[in-house]
Amino acid sequence: MTRKISTGIVLSALLIILAACKAPTETQPTSVRSLDGDFERATLIVDADNGAQHELRIYLALEFDQQRRGLMFVRNMPKDTGMLFVYEDSNIRSMWMKNTYISLDLVFVRTDGTVASIIRDTQPLSLTPLASIEPVTYVLELNAGTARRLNIGQKSRIIWESVHH
């Protein structure tokens, strides 16, 4: 009897240790560091409504799988960091906050880089679709409050030198 209990305790302990050492999965929360291996990085310049220019470090969501993942499972993001979704064509774009733990500003951008619309302070984990009001080619996701802080509005323009388009 003692031997069976000891073996059971040892096996339970090993399972707990293995579970703790397991690599992150899609269901485990992550930081932006986990995005580094899966997304290219770039610098984006925003010409704000007030004429100021702001430099942002962004992750590029160029491929369908990257766009599907987006910022899901990220628990925090540095102040002037974001993700730029780059699409092949201009269309109505709809995003949601499924598995997204941080509130975001969604900046919908036309092909020429001008801002079409902004949805501010999204609700984390919401399944409600958040759509552009007109066809756009880019969607820039920023920490909630960033669009207001940097004076990004409908007179703003994003400048990004693409090697892909």
What are the chain's domains? 30-159 (2.60.120.1140)
pLDDT of 57 > 50? The answer is yes
Query: Does the predicted model carry a pTM greater than 0.85?
Result: no
> pLDDT tens across 3-15, in order?
555 555 655 544 4
**How far is Cα 27 from Cα 101, in angstroms, rounded to an integer?**
12
pLDDT tier, 23 (very low <50, low <70, confident <90, very high otherwise):
very low
Token pair of 68 as six digits: 């599907």
The predicted model gives 115-120 an average pLDDT of 98
pLDDT of 32 > 80? The answer is no
Query: 3-class DSSP state for residue 104?
Result: strand
> pLDDT tens across 61-88, in order?
999 999 999 999 999 999 999 999 999 9
The backbone region for 22, taken as left when phi is positive above 0, alpha when psi lies in -120 to 50, beta otherwise, is: beta
Alpha helices in the chain (DSSP H): 2-21, 64-69, 146-149
**How far is Cα 28 from Cα 23, in angstroms, rounded to an integer?**
9
Which pLDDT value is given to residue 21?
A: 45
Which pLDDT value is given to residue 161?
A: 73
> pLDDT tens across 139-155, in order?
999 999 999 999 999 99
**How far is Cα 118 from Cα 65, in angstroms, rounded to an integer?**
24
